[in-house]
Chain A
Amino acid sequence: MPRATTVDCPGCPPLRALTFDALGLIKVIEARGKGGGGVPKVVDRWGDPDASKGLVAASLIDRKIDPLLAVARKNGVIEILNPLNGELFFSVSDLSNDGVRPEDNAIVGLHLFRKQRLELASRSCILLACRTKGNASIKTIGMADTKAGSGAPKTWNVCASGNISFSEVDGSESYALFGGKGVEVNMWDLEQCTKIWTAKPPPPNSLGIFTPTWFTSATFLSKDDHRKVVAGTNNHQVRLYDLSAQRRPVISFDFRENPIKAVAEDPDGHTIYIGNGSGDLASVDIRTGKLLGCFLGKCSGSIRSIARHPELPVIASCGLDSYLRIWDIGTRQLLSSVFLKQHLSKVVFDTNFAEEEVKHDVADTATLDALSIDETVGETEKPPTKRKKSSSKENKEGKKKKKASSKEKDGTKKLKSKKDDFADGQVSDLEYTL
């Protein structure tokens, strides 16, 4: 008889998550199964393994119609993808860094704005990108245009010195938060590009010791209120700031002994989840600063990112131990874990996932992928991909039909679809020239 207890992993509810790793691969993990018994599996892998194109930041607009995914790579390239099938819409490489290598001034935070100022037909999207040295920029990337931005990107410098570690945008998308090593947490108004608030460090303690500022991660506490902010430091402290009250932290508490690497908030507005550098994940009630409990589940690597599912009571955590783990919030139990083989940097949930049986039709996927990376090629006439309530396979079929019809009526449009990255290795070389 085995002399130790085995931890059972009950399955997780149906969900879909996308993970981004250090080799530049995006993996799609889906869990199917009624009730709570699904086992998540990797259903898709997008991208080529290439360490110079490692993913550093990602942002997903999670909506039924026309979801978009923006990812930033280590070499400075920002790509806009379709989160349903990984199809690249276009990519922008940032040439505004003269003299500085992209790796030194990598993108630290990326946010795709949900509200689009231009009409839907031209399908442009607005991004906020922030780099390590403090250059933040809001760019409008239009699919119809030939240039990188239809208007001049708004750039400003967030900090004079120090390195930025994170950037977050609040629920109403009008305020942005930045902070980092040597940079206090500061909040900017995005419409006017002005700094409206900076945090003040707590006073040195009774011994006169003053720990240098090093924020590693932060989040807005609730989607509607931009005034409460929770930040985690390198010195294993978690601080709650209230803009309407004071510049010093309102509550500050310590959590174990490693830097807090990820903070995520719960939609109920008073619980947060923190993950630190040695793999400890915990939930804390931020009103009192009390630790509600730790999530025990053999996580042995630093947690890089935590995502809370907007509807289901689950959170996903990923990190340097190459596992994606799904936890139940109420019982703090590990529901399931998926081994993903690389150091993961971020995870996002895709909520518009309706669980129905999908047969992965290989021929279907082969024809639809990987447009050429050339910026000038867009898909102007293709209607926005409608996310029906049914499965994604039908969506792909619908797209295929639309593509076929567009082939007939299209003008001078030249599409080249390259070989995709799937293991089956089907090469489909469709060239539409009319």
Chain B
Amino acid sequence: MGGKRKDNGSEGVEGEEDSKNSNKKMKKEKREILPSSIKNKEKRSAVHAKLKHQKKLDKRKKLKARDAAAKRALELGEEPPAKQIPRTIENAREADETVCMPDDEELFAGNDADEFSAILKQDRTPKILITTCRFNSTRGPAFINELLSVIPNAHYYKRGTYDLKKIVEYANNKEFTSIVVVHTNRREPDALLVIGLPDGPTAHFKLSSLVLRKDIKNHGNPTSHEPELVLNNFTTRLGHRIGRLIQSLFPQSPNFRGRRVITFHNQRDFIFFRHHRYIFEAKETKQSDSKGKNVKDTKGEGISKEKVIARLQECGPRFTLKLVSLQHGTFDTKGGEYEWVHKPEMDTSRRRFFL
């Protein structure tokens, strides 16, 4: 014990009792032995279980302490201690130098010069050609029907046996602004090819998690008003370009009275598509506050403390897209140049995203 005390003294551990010091040192030594280095299975599993139990107790203790501190602060009327922000992958996303900055004049100049600027400036109205791959079955046609109702001014043509390059030519002649090709694999739509015209970029998306309208509970029926478009989280330059590509599929003058919104939400390089109809309502419904049609007919005098919320009713399909490649010209896999193509060597970190 004396020797140990001397050791502790030389290490310079701050003022605690000597016996506690020595105990702590012994515990430290034990903890330094990782369970994985013990060869004996029974002993190893025992040590591991003990470690886990210890961790659980520590965590519970911390949680209790935090709650107690918050409650005490509330009772005393002070502010509770700040809540800790949980670490998520989106929070910890690697800093990307390609993120669009708001004051970047090159970005705006590039936007003016790119292939979508004519449509986005309302010089051309979007006219979409939807077609499929050569063999189409089961869920494909149903999906196409829903797409036709979602995208205004969309026309469906059967594929036949035309080459996609020829289809691009025909579409250019008939003045379409984009082509959307739904590709089916194993009786399920699994890829979406969006080709901007006349010589715009070609984006190849992988489609997954498709839920058709009839499978959504309490779904609504979309109307034919022009939808509002919500594009979330397309931060990088590539994301911005894809966002503009999607924007060019829809008309630029949304009809707000129609209360129809289409959302493309980008998170971790997956783009989630949702289609809703919304209604604004006041929470303390003494006063009917909704726009347009409202079932309730109460006309009370409103107490001014109402919170306006928007209630959503989902209609239309629900699916997720992931960008596989973005090609600079129209569809030409063999002879074209790619602006962005996903390569496995790019996935160096779980916190790195490209859109």
Contact = CB atoms under 8 A, between A and B. Distances in A.
Interface of A: 2-7, 22-23, 25, 49-51, 214, 234-235, 257-259, 261, 277-279, 296-298, 300-302, 320-322, 339, 341-343
Most buried by A among B98, B338, B346: B338
Given A7-B348, A49-B106, A279-B341, 10 more contacts: A2-B349, A258-B334, A258-B337, A258-B338, A297-B345, A301-B338, A302-B338, A321-B339, A342-B106, A343-B339
Interface string B216-237: 0000000000000000000001
Interface residues of B, number: 29
A235 B347 CA distance: 29
Contacts of B339: 300-302, 320-321, 343
Contacts of B338: 258, 277-279, 300-302, 320
Contacts of A7: 348
Contacts of B342: 300
A277 B337 contact: yes
Given A258-B337, A279-B338, A25 B106 contact: yes
A342 B335 CA distance: 22
Contacts of A342: 106, 110
B341 A23 contact: no
Contacts of B349: 2, 4, 6
B328 interface: yes
Interface in B109-134: 109-110, 112-113
A341 B334 contact: no
Contacts of B346: 298, 300
Given A50-B109, A342-B106, A301 B340 contact: yes
Contacts of B237: 322, 341
B109 A339 contact: no
B340 A321 contact: yes
A1 to B, nearest CB: 11
Contacts of B351: 2
B105 A49 contact: yes
Interface string B313-335: 00000000000000010000011
Interface of B: 97-98, 104-107, 109-110, 112-113, 237, 328, 334-343, 345-351
B348 A300 contact: no
Most buried by B among A51, A234, A300: A300
A339 B106 CA distance: 13
Contacts of A277: 335-338
20 contacts: A2-B351, A4-B348, A4-B350, A23-B106, A23-B110, A49-B109, A50-B109, A51-B110, A234-B335, A235-B334, A258-B336, A258-B337, A277-B336, A298-B343, A300-B346, A301-B338, A302-B328, A302-B337, A322-B237, A341-B106
B337 A300 contact: no
Contacts of B348: 4-7, 298
A234 B343 CA distance: 21
Most buried by B among A22, A257, A278, A298: A278
Nearest to B92: A2
A3 B349 CA distance: 7
B350 A3 contact: yes
Given A49-B109, A258-B337, A259-B335, A300 B343 contact: yes
B109 A23 contact: yes
A2 B347 CA distance: 12
B354 to A, nearest CB: 8
Contacts of A321: 339-340
Contacts of A4: 347-350
B163 to A, nearest CB: 16
A80 to B, nearest CB: 24
A257 B328 contact: no
Nearest to B98: A339
A22 B110 CA distance: 9
Nearest to B112: A51
Contacts of B341: 278-279, 300-301
A302 to B, nearest CB: 3
A320 B328 contact: yes
A258 B338 CA distance: 9
Nearest to A45: B106
Nearest to A337: B97
B334 A257 contact: yes
A279 B342 CA distance: 10
Contacts of B336: 258-259, 277
A235 B97 CA distance: 34
A106 to B, nearest CB: 15
CB-based closest 5 A-B pairs:
A51-B113, A302-B337, A49-B109, A277-B337, A320-B339
Contacts of B106: 23, 25, 49, 341-342
B239 to A, nearest CB: 13
B51 to A, nearest CB: 18
